[in-house]
A and B are shown apart, each in its own frame.
Chain A
């Protein structure tokens, strides 16, 4: 091999093959070195039929290979064909053992002794080629494997899956269909996994399909067994097979031997690269997961870009046109100038690195508004977050007097209360003068709050101040609240957690900023629920003011966040502020009266308890049925089916009943919808009116169905054609009104009666777009069906009994 290649690419994963395809297209002399005898070994070894996602959706693909979300097999077939079509020069079974720079030329040694010479080298080896292995005694025995191709290959075996990450769980679930599966989880719970997988595995463990050892580590492996070190001592588990999914790390030894430096000794650290993906060794480039970009689409784009960079073409990132279009309203400023301005002006965004800021802005919407425009209205159900780049906005703090406003200038943010609580917007916001605003969706904000600590801190401080101002001390100047806010802290509670208990010393109070609580009292040895307190209210002031022990127990009805306020600072505030003291005292008296009344009718408290157990507390609009009026005609279900393509999104009969109050299986339109938490195509939205709905981009993955704790989402085939009522009555055409489709009809279905189209998730959308409101309630002939929101559901408690 005397020839010198212009580019040698190591690794034929998405990044490597995209680079090779582009080099081939441009006619650059190149070679693609692949250790195995097929392309893209990592994806090749994905579980058979695995659905591969194409996130991030907003990022356009720029490459000479295609990539759409789909089945593993489809994607690999396309790549194989495209690599063959562009006549890329692939060398299979080429295991690279060393890359050395000799003058201006790289010498690449292969395991078979061959040496390849190139002017530039692209390392696209990813991390999966270097899987983490078990290190205990017996790890080399043949029953241990680190990958799983086709779970259907195994039958009636006892299989131990080690590693509770996404890969391990996906394997365990698939294997559990025809095998006995035992999971080994090093920690006491499943953390850092996709929400969909979490509910899958918890379900499987609850149902007994999978057995799981928590807080357990592998001690030793024997011929037909594994010995685990658990909290209760050693356990011997007989098994036929062990699948260890322990993640992967950079093949550090090899990378360092190429001359590349790592920033620190951390096992998970990755080498640093320049904006053109060049490492500290000139001419040696790193793309894909090894360079810190683990997503397939990113790697494919980088493959394209790196070839351009090597050829000396400084092309802009693939998302440039998108972000240019986004910032078009600010012309003639360039994208770089706008991004710099954002970082300078808006402190919240200051702590993001350039790449994070760019991604955040790609997700955000830029609004250029004239003076007097409404940004959002009070009582809207939106949860996005706004930042002000230029101009001023006014927050109308008094619903009755739009003139009363607090103004916010450049650099400020607003809308964080809707973001945190998930309830209706508490005030209308209008522009005062021409404005440039950025609207960032809740999903993006949550990701950033989770990953950027300083952003979370900045947000929290301002949010606490505003929450105190809105819900506790309206009209009190900021200076007077400083002490109270500085000593306040945010506390989180899970469903059922006790926030404080009856008899406790009352030295602090809580302002509920998200979620809701129940207040209960022990009467005659029994807990009686006295009231339900939604977010935006404060609790615990009674004991604080009277210096008495807590008179009641407060529990979180579901996931709840409170601002915990120190008693001393609150008392000081009250002393300084007479009107506030009067209003708190008034509430105090009102509460004593209300508690007295509730104690007289304990059955009302039981109904609150029942409704909260059914998730009504976290719902914003819940369908209830008064069984003393329901004649079981199912007209509600029929109405739902008729207005939603033949598939009813509610099951009247199912669901629990208390006294004569029935909670049917139907969407509660939660404050923080569980279904929205893990939707790959981001197809679940919330309208300003509060309705949670699924749009046409649903891919039918079923995550939402699994994530919904109330089982109100189903996967269904697209509907059949319907005829009008007289055609059905007289000629028997089509299904009856309200009847589900029969899957026997032919249009668009295969031999098994299944639709050629995929199943889609369907759920109640509150008849969004149908004038007059929810069809189920309107079609109830006897008035048994009713919809309530948590604010009004206390009134329902008088229905029953």
Chain B
């Protein structure tokens, strides 16, 4: 029950996908069609039908995922099969084309489909590797708790800074007021902010703190260091969570485009028969 999608049910769907790919490849290799292998032979039609069917079934995952409380098969089965059979699709569709690619409407289908598959693989890599990084980065704290701690630090910083000189006070206030988390998609994906007012304030205080009796400054520095660390972790958190989602912005639109191209491909093939 409880295992990663890759090894799920003792690689059941990997075996299915391998079997499907192997059968397709073997038949392709023994088949001797008239002329070069292409989509128009009996094998071409068979592989094309299989690939088209697979595409429809793979796309259905988007609907199945949002149908809750129905169906006997858990979603993990669906996703595991989606991954392995989707990968097999790349081979089957290529065999269907007989390695003939050109500047035509049919290649549009091939390219959109391949982008979908590759983006899916990227997504899979993210899904397999980032959850652990996310958890490690949080060290048991939720985003909400971290934000709460930052708010508390800000209160301290404001209070302590009041007793310092104007320049320090201004830098500290800037840290409490102008620090930005999130922002645009790109900012979120970058995961850091080199102009972060908190970093600037920390650098400023750090350079001016001395071993003299300067309790305020030292207190301020420890608060700013703690805040900087929290900010770093939140930005990393945002970045990782963004990465977990961002690939879908490629995967989903291209899968819909591929479906449209599939319809065009089928219609044109039969129209010009």
Contacts and interface: CB of A to CB of B under 8 A. Distances in A.
A562 interface: no
B5 A781 contact: yes
Interface stretch (B26-34, B127-135, B202-210, B261-269): B127-135
Nearest to A773: B74
A631 B1 CA distance: 17
Q: Which of B132, B143, B144 has the most CB of A within 10 A?
A: B132
Contacts of B130: 631
Contact of B3 (A632, A778, A783): A783
A779 interface: yes
B67 A782 contact: no
A629 B75 contact: no
B66 A780 contact: no
A628 B68 contact: no
A99 B126 CA distance: 88
Given A631-B131, A632-B134, A767 B4 contact: no
Contacts of B127: 631, 782
A231 interface: no
Interface stretch (A159-167, A253-261, A339-347, A655-663): A655-663
A780 B131 contact: no
Contacts of B174: none
Contacts of A653: 142-144
Contacts of A772: 69, 71-72
A238 to B, nearest CB: 30
Interface in A593-638: 626-633, 635, 638
Interface string A642-670: 11000000000110111010100000000
A637 to B, nearest CB: 10
B2 interface: yes
Interface string B136-150: 001010111000000
Nearest to B71: A772
A416 B130 CA distance: 50
Given A635-B65, A770-B69, A777-B74, A784 B131 contact: yes
Contacts of A799: 2
Contact of B79 (A658, A737, A775, A782): A782
Interface string B1-25: 1111100100000000000000000
A19 interface: no
Interface string A715-736: 0000000000100000000000
B131 A629 contact: yes
Q: Which of B75, B127, B132, B140 has the most CB of A within 10 A?
A: B75
Contacts of B67: 725
B63 interface: yes
Contacts of B76: 780-783
B216 to A, nearest CB: 29
Contacts of B158: none
A639 interface: yes
A775 B66 contact: no
Contacts of A784: 131
B226 interface: no
A142 to B, nearest CB: 43
A662 B139 CA distance: 12
A643 B138 contact: no
Contacts of B71: 772
B135 A629 contact: no
Nearest to B133: A628
A112 to B, nearest CB: 65
A653 B147 CA distance: 14
Contacts of B138: 657
B135 A779 contact: no
A783 B5 contact: yes
A628 B1 contact: no
Contacts of A627: 131-132, 134-135
A786 interface: yes
A642 B241 contact: no
Interface string B61-92: 00101111101101110110000000000000
A775 B5 CA distance: 18
Contact of A638 (B1, B68, B74, B143): B68
Interface residues of A, number: 38
Contacts of A786: 1-2
A337 B78 CA distance: 64
A778 B74 CA distance: 5
A558 to B, nearest CB: 23
Given A782-B76, A783-B3, A783-B5, A630 B131 contact: yes
Contacts of A643: 68-69
Contacts of A629: 4, 131
Given A631-B131, A725-B67, A770-B69, A783 B2 contact: yes
A631 B131 CA distance: 6
Interface in A255-314: none
Q: Which of A654, A777, A781, A799 has the most CB of B within 10 A?
A: A781
B135 A657 contact: yes
Given A632-B134, A643-B69, A737-B66, A783 B4 contact: yes
Given A631-B127, A643-B68, A783-B76, A626 B5 contact: no
Contacts of B131: 627-632, 782, 784
B244 interface: yes
Nearest to B241: A632
A772 B65 CA distance: 16
B68 A737 contact: yes
A781 B4 contact: no
A639 to B, nearest CB: 4
A644 to B, nearest CB: 9
Q: Which of B5, B66, B67, B132 has the most CB of A within 10 A?
A: B66
Contact of B135 (A628, A633, A738, A778): A628
Nearest to A662: B135
A654 B142 contact: yes
Nearest to A786: B2
Contacts of B74: 777-778, 780
Interface in A727-776: 737-738, 767, 770-772, 775
B82 to A, nearest CB: 9
Contacts of A631: 126-127, 130-131, 244
Contacts of B241: 632
A631 B135 CA distance: 10
Contacts of B79: 781-782
A632 B244 contact: yes
Q: Which of B3, B74, B126 has the most CB of A within 10 A?
A: B74
Nearest to B1: A786
A725 B8 CA distance: 29
A657 B71 CA distance: 31
B4 A782 contact: yes
Contacts of A771: 72
Given A632-B244, A656-B140, A657-B135, A783 B8 contact: yes
B75 A778 contact: yes
Nearest to A626: B2
A658 B140 contact: yes
A54 B143 CA distance: 45
B125 to A, nearest CB: 12
A779 B5 contact: no
A662 B138 CA distance: 12
A780 B134 contact: no
Contact of B68 (A630, A660, A779, A782): A779
Given A631-B127, A775-B69, A660 B2 contact: no
B153 to A, nearest CB: 22
Given A657-B138, A799-B2, 15 more contacts: A627-B132, A627-B134, A627-B135, A631-B244, A632-B241, A633-B244, A642-B66, A656-B140, A658-B140, A660-B132, A725-B63, A738-B68, A771-B72, A775-B68, A783-B5
CB-based closest 6 A-B pairs = A643-B69, A642-B68, A639-B68, A627-B135, A781-B79, A783-B76
12 contacts: A628-B135, A630-B131, A631-B126, A631-B130, A653-B143, A657-B135, A657-B140, A725-B67, A779-B65, A781-B78, A782-B5, A784-B131
